[in-house]
Structure 1
Amino acid sequence: MMPFVQQGFTLAWRSLVPLKNSPGQLLGYALQPVLMIIVFVYLFGGAAAGGDRHQAVFYSLPGVLAQSALMATVATGVSLNTDLHNGVFDRFRSLPIARSAPLLGRVVADLSLLCVSVGIALLAGVAVGFRIGTGPVRLAVALGLILAIAVAVSWGSALLGLVSKTPAAMQMTATAVIMPLTLGSSAFLPVGAMPGWLQAWMKVNPASHLAGAVRGLLVGRPYDAHLGSDVLYTLGWAALMLAVFVPLAGRAYRRRI
């Protein structure tokens, strides 16, 4: 393993250890997907499946997984910005480690928490009637797609965290970007139920393709009609965001420290 990668994982562990003294933060990661399932399956009455709440679970849970992946990335930028203001990165500069290791460690730590959130969402879905209708291979591919998008968006969040003046400003900016992606997608409601102008946005929205791919991979018929194109679009969006955000975040990181 390359030294900077090993150092990055060590710093990721350093970021996770303090969570044992912050149960509220862990509780937030656990409750967010559960609350989304309650809202979109029970409070909205299963509008995604014509009022059938049982079928709404099969439609909405993949959307919850997609939203959890995107929302969790906000923590990357907030944590980076907080560490910069607290002088943590100034202390890292005095250590014999790669300059990129703290940035990598922050992304890896938040992806670990995302895995916890996704796992709890799946368990909550099973508790309310969701069943995986395919197999372990498709489940692994679905989780891989979620992590791929999360990694890509995390680098965008890191960029915002490095250029924002305060953690609050970063969080507000990231929320303004994430909310149209998640709520303006087919994650919770089908495209056909929306007005024409919104349908155009939903069809190109990366969150729609991610939710559609996860839905097809986990549920199967009748949601796998566009599975191939959704998977390709999701991978394409992830590759594009990585190609843009990784060098920009690296440049902003070098300038900031």
Structure 2
Amino acid sequence: MTTALSQGLTLAWRSLIPLKNSPGQLISLLLQPVFMIVVFVYLFGGAAGGDRAGAVAYMLPGVLVQVALMATITTGMNLSTDIGNGVFDRFRTMPIARSAPLAGRIMADLLTLLITIAMSLAVGYAVGFRIQTGPLAALAGIGLVLLMAMALSWGSAWIGLVAKSVTSMQGIATAVLLPLTFGSSAFIPATDMPGWLAWWMGVNPVSHLAGALRGLMIGGLHPSDVWITLGWTAALLAAFAPTALRAYNRRVR
């Protein structure tokens, strides 16, 4: 187990090295949260009632969740690309654990996600967002987002391994994540929505994740949001981690 983890970390570093030779990809990681915050927080938030400070406080945690979950699509896309290029065929000939390349890909994407989250918080600070709880609570909230992102990355990995192409993988993952993120209370309270949509937003796991992060960063935490998020994370891991490993073993044997 320790050897597999060490090998996974080594392969994660191998996946991150190309970033220094690909400034366009690095710039994309840094600019994505800027665009999201400008559109959802600084423009839409200011237009919705004119309370820009309240909009920033409510919507920025939702933007963090949105950015993190949509970033998990890259896991499946990168896996699909690596398989198409024959990278995993070379790994198969090496004396490493079978799960190490898959785990390394997910760990690398989580590390790049940390860069995106840090950039999001920096831009949020620039537009007026302030953490009102404390550093430990804020770190717990970011950790919760990373846990959910890791669980969804396994689902993204599974889609990338079974999809016919990178394009189809991206289309499937986007079709799943868009209703979850935009159909949540990440940006708009459920009380402002019609009955059927308010019900969906209430059961949507992204709503609970956004609520937990909001509570841990600005106060008013409902512990149920944390427990429901942890429950969904455990369920997604239990469902997709073994499924992705089986699909990976079928593709590289």
**TM-score by structure 1 length?**
0.95
8 Å CA contact 2:42–2:56 kept in 1: the answer is: no
Q: Which runs of 5+ in 2 are unaligned?
A: none
The letter of the residue matching 1:12 is A
- How much is the aligned-residue C-alpha RMSD, in angstroms? 1.2
Corresponding residue of 1:181? 180
How far, CA to CA, are the matches of 1:250 and 1:18 in structure 2?
Answer: 25
Q: Which runs of 5+ in 1 are unaligned?
A: none
SS in 1 for 2:133: coil
Matching of residues 16-31 of structure 1 within 5 Å: 16-31=16-31
TM-superposition CA deviations, 1:191-230 (whole Å, max 9, x none): 1111211111111111100100000000014xx3xx2010
How far, CA to CA, are the matches of 2:203 and 2:146 in structure 1?
Answer: 20
Residues 1:250 and 2:249 aligned together: no
Shift of 1:43: 2.3
Shift of 1:47: 5.9
Question: How many percent identity over aligned positions?
Answer: 63
**TM-score by structure 2 length?**
0.97
Shift of 1:157: 0.2
Residues 1:141 and 2:135 aligned together: no
8 Å CA contact 1:47–1:189 kept in 2: the answer is: no
The letter of the residue matching 2:36 is M
SS in 1 for 2:129: coil
The letter of the residue matching 2:5 is V
Shift of 1:145: 0.3
Moved over 6 A (4+): none
TM-superposition CA deviations, 1:44-71 (whole Å, max 9, x none): 14366x3301111101110011111101
TM-superposition CA deviations, 1:102-146 (whole Å, max 9, x none): 000000000000000001101111111111000112012101101
Residues 1:236 and 2:231 aligned together: yes
Matching of residues 113-192 of structure 1 within 5 Å: 113-192=112-191
The letter of the residue matching 1:14 is R
Matching of residues 26-105 of structure 1 within 5 Å: 26-46=26-46, 50-105=49-104
Count of matched residue positions in the alignment of Structure 1 and Structure 2 = 252
